[in-house]
Amino acid sequence: MDHSDHVKLLRDGVLPGGEQVWADFGAGWGAFTLALADLLDRPASIHAIDQNRAELGRLQRSMMERFPQVNLITHPADFNQALDLPPLDGLVMANSLHFQTDHLATVQRLARYLKPSGRFLIVEYNIKKSRPWVPYPVSYGRWQHLADQAALGETRKLGSRPSRSTREIYSAGSWRN
Ligand SMILES: C[S@@+](CC[C@H](N)C(=O)[O-])C[C@H]1O[C@@H](n2cnc3c(N)ncnc32)[C@H](O)[C@@H]1O
């Protein structure tokens, strides 16, 4: 997958309009943070949270090179701990929920950072059986169930891409209308 694939996966989950504040939980080197930066109107702020400080450093450099107008704030931290974040218009969890042992607790915790109409976007492998690199999978059906349990609002599939090793990678969004 390349940058245009990342953008396509998130596109239908991002509303137009400037001055939005988003967060990417488990941002890594920022594949989806950069996609968000491409999609958000200006001015825009993105908080990138990851426990891997080196990956966040790489993201800072890429953002500066490619989208210098976006206000990027990095948080080297465990996103299951309390974070100092403003109310969010939206958040992305891309390939990071499948590392959490208690999906629902994480989703509920992160959803508290959202504004009432804030959008919870997810990118995950659509598999049910765990793999070494996907220890706690979040299939689309599992996400629908979690989003219902966490009362996130209506859920829709936003996109998908074929994946050689795991059949499909999908994106979904849940929010209240
Ligand atoms: C597979 S990578 C995905 C990176 C990026 N979102 C992407 O899709 O390309 C998972 C990332 O989640 C981060 N991560 C997992 N659990 C975390 C936690 N509890 N707190 C902060 N970061 C976490 C890891 O450090 C890693 O960078």
Q: Phi, psi (5° rounding) for residue 38?
A: -70, -35
Regarding pTM above 0.95, the answer is: yes
Exposed, middle or buried: residue 138 (CB in 10 Å: 0-12, 13-18, 19+)?
Answer: buried
Ligand 1 contacts CB of residue 92 (under 6 A): no
For residue 177, what pLDDT band results from cuts at 50, 70 and 90?
A: confident
Ligand 1 contacts CB of residue 80 (under 6 A): yes
In this prediction, residue 164 carries a pLDDT of 80
Distance 24 CA to ligand 1 centre (A): 9
Q: Where are the domains of the chain?
A: 3-26+79-175
- Per-residue pLDDT tens for 46-102? 999 999 999 999 999 999 999 999 999 999 999 999 999 999 999 999 999 999 999
Architecture of domain 3-26+79-175: 3-Layer(aba) Sandwich (3.40)
